[in-house]
Amino acid sequence: MSRSRLISAERLAVLAGGSAAPWAFERMDAPPPVIAQEEGPPPEPPIDIEALLAEARAQAYAEGHAAGAAEAREQADEAMRTLTEGQLHEQAEHFAAMLDAAREGLDAAQQDIARGTLDIACALARQVLRQELATRPELLEPVVREAIDLLVADGRSVRVVLSHDDHAWLAGALEQEFASRGLTVVAEGAMLPGDCRLESAGAVVDGGIAPRWARAVASLGLTVPWQPEADEVGTADEVGNAPSAVAPADAPPTPDQQEPDGDAP
């Protein structure tokens, strides 16, 4: 029989690097040991479907309400911008129309002022000219001489019609100067100071102060009459388009153009 080597418990502990707990046989009729079980996570509560649906509906309603409110604000802002732009455009057009009307009114006022100034200037000039003709009949002499030169060039007799005041001043000198040319100087009550009319063989040269004045002021676009109390005054166009002062030679003489039977009163 071989000899076995027994290893004591102390020796095993040394070999294991530490002390060893004592060991003993358990009883065969002992109850089994109770093994502690690890506790797991608590069970989840049951899912509430109705609550989830209500929450989803509330969230959708809130999101829809927010989106609708934002869209409504955007539409309101757009409508307000459109309304404001329309009002501004309308006001701008209104102001432009008012400005145009004011400009037209100013232009009309300036034209009225200019026309009034011309009227005043013409009235003053007329007054001065009437005074000069009344006090200085010699001013008419160059006009009469020029008209006589136009008619006596062909040797025809000439009849000169003047106002009484001008006749007293000019008749003697004119008849003496043009005696060889058959010149006759007469006076008519209808003639105004400064008027003259020359008649020769049916041709008439009207040197009246009124038509000469009308032609002068017509160049300014005015119709200021020579006689302020005149009831009817032709327009500037009518004056500018008036027929020539020299009548055709074959025109029949009017009653006041007939040669007088004797000396004029």
Q: Which pLDDT tens digit goes with each residue over 109-140?
A: 888 888 777 777 777 777 777 777 776 777 77
The structure tokens 């040269």 sit at 205
Cα–Cα distance for residue pair 37/135, rounded to 1 Å: 153
Q: List alpha helices for the chain, DSSP H.
A: 9-16, 49-135, 141-151, 164-177, 209-218, 236-240
Beta carbons of 250 and 202 less than 8 angstroms apart: yes
33-82 residue pLDDT tens: 666 666 667 777 777 788 778 888 888 888 888 888 888 888 888 888 88
Residue 228 has pLDDT above 60, yes or no: yes
Cα–Cα distance for residue pair 193/131, rounded to 1 Å: 10
Residue 152 has pLDDT above 70, yes or no: no
| 137-142 contact pairs (CB < 8 A, 24+) | 137/165, 137/166, 137/169, 137/170, 137/193, 138/169, 138/170, 139/194, 140/166, 140/170, 140/194, 140/196, 141/170, 141/173
Predicted local confidence at residue 240, as pLDDT? 38
Residue 235 has pLDDT above 70, yes or no: no
Percent of the chain with pLDDT over 90: 0
